[in-house]
Structure formats: structure tokens, C-alpha cells
Copies of this chain bind each other. A is one copy, B any other.
Amino acid sequence: MNESTFLTALRSLPLHAGARDLADDTALLGDLVLTKDLVVEGIHFLPTDPAADIAWKLVAVNLSDLAAKGAVPIGILLGYPLAGDDGWDRGFLEGLREICQTFACPILGGDTVTANGPRTLSLTAIGRATDPPARSGARIGDALWVTGTIGDAAAGLAIAIGEQGPSALLAAYRRPQPRLAEGRALAPQASAMMDVSDGLLIDAARMAQASRCAVMIDLAAVPLSPAYAAHIGTNREARLAAATGGDDYQLLFALPPDATPPVPATRVGSFAQGTGLTLTQAGHPVPLPPRIGYQHG
């Protein structure tokens, strides 16, 4: 089964109301927000990535899900494979300490197991939110916004694999910054919000699908960093690579057309009646690339 088939089958099992039909990245339990993400060696990280960065990323991708709900982190539960490599374990613990301190997110508990093959690391993060926006709340006419810049992590992955390139892009891949402060500021205003983990285009399409409307994205508006522009470029191909690359961990959110976000963000598109994703560049239609983002499973 792929992820979609598995989730469809899972939906026929007893679901908690807070699972909201498994259509979101987080579960809600009273004012608690719960998320669980796994990272697997060889799939989500390279065997050569530093252990401290893997710890950072494991926690960051979960905190990013909390950020999309405007949640304040409470704590994490860690599932850790012991592989008999003291240096790796020490590096991991150092990266874990850094991110726990940076985002005031303490350790609640977890489990260790003896590693058997490629490492699978698992994390559950718990936060508290008063009025978490859903992925499914975008309305026809809403504008689509995104925080920060897009494509840096995907360009950074190529550098991690061996390409020459600026350290800022490598850092975007290895040390993603969960947008917790932005999420808290945006949550009261956003009709819908989610984090960009699999690529701007695919995640925007998912928000539109969950919200039962269509989404149009202007490729020319996709925010690129100076480092990305210098290293990869700003033409259509470079913009498509950025918008389909994934691992951005920026916040993607819908606002009423006349609203202005309370944090720095870029308007990249809008929601309309209908279904699906339409791409334009400076008013001209752009055909969708064959792959619009990372598909799980």
C-alpha cells in the first residue's frame, strides 16, 4: 500500500474525534495539539548527515506541525535506536539539547531500542493552542500566503550530497527553523494553515483539496532567497524546482483577500471555485510539472 491507500484503510478503524478523519498533520485533544513524525536513514536523512543535525531536524519537523496550529510547545517523547556508536549518540544528544533549548521544548519521555539496520527515529510533540486553524478552512476568494523563502532546503540537499554551494542553503536543509512565533501570530487570522514539508505546490494543492476549492499560484511570486537566486537562479525552471522541492518548513496560510498578515510573508496565490492547482507566471498559464512535490510511501 502507499500512504494514501493505508490512510483510507485506517479511516475504517475506530478514530478519535480529535483525529479529524486523519486529514490533518496533528490531532487535537482538548486544547492540546499532538503530532508524530518519523525520520528514516536513507529516506529522510543521509547516512553522512551529522547526528546533531538529525536530532535538530527530527524535532524541528514536529515543532513545525505545532507551529501550523499556532501552538506553544509543551514537550516531546523520543523514540531512539541505539546502534552502539557513542559518537553518533553524543552528537544526537547535543543537537537535541540545542533545539530543546532554542524552542523551550523539554523532554517528556520516550523509549530506546536496539537499532537493527538503518536508523528509524520517532518523535511525538505536544503543544497547547487555543484556536488552531485547520488545513481545510480556506475559502473561495482567500489569498494564499507563505512565510520566509522557498527552495533553500532542496538546494541544500544537493550541497549535502556533494555539490558546491553556499552554506546558507546547506543550513536550510540541515537546520530547518520551525515558525512557532509566526504560527502563534497568524493562527487567530488564518482561515487555513499548514506547514510546507513536501513542496509548496503539492502542499497548496492539499490545502485546496481539503478546503474543497481550487488554488492558483503565481510562480513569479514564489519567494526566493538571495542565496537561492545566486546559486540556482530565478528563471521558470529555478522557480519550479523551489516550489516542488520540499523540506521548507515555512507556513502556508489562507487569509481573507483584504487582510494583511501580522508577520513577514509573501502572497503567492489565491483560492477560487472549482478543484485542483493552476500555475501562472506573470499572468500566463504554466503547465504543471510531472512531479509537484514529495509523495510519501
Contacts and interface: CB of A to CB of B under 8 A. Distances in A.
A82 to B, nearest CB: 4
A297 B111 CA distance: 11
Interface string A6-17: 110110111110
Contacts of A104: 14
A48 interface: no
Given A36-B110, A112-B7, A13 B296 contact: no
A79 interface: yes
Interface string A28-41: 01001011111111
A277 interface: no
Interface residues of A, number: 68
B26 A114 contact: no
Given A112-B297, A114-B40, A297-B114, A82 B16 contact: no
| Complex copy number for this chain | 2
B16 A108 contact: yes
A109 B35 CA distance: 7
Interface string A102-116: 001111111111111
A117 interface: yes
Interface string A73-104: 01101111110001001100100110011001
Interface of A: 1-3, 6-7, 9-10, 12-16, 18-19, 22, 24, 26-27, 29, 32, 34-44, 74-75, 77-82, 86, 89-90, 93, 96-97, 100-101, 104-118, 120, 122, 124, 126, 296-297
7 contacts: A7-B112, A13-B106, A14-B107, A18-B75, A29-B108, A43-B113, A120-B122
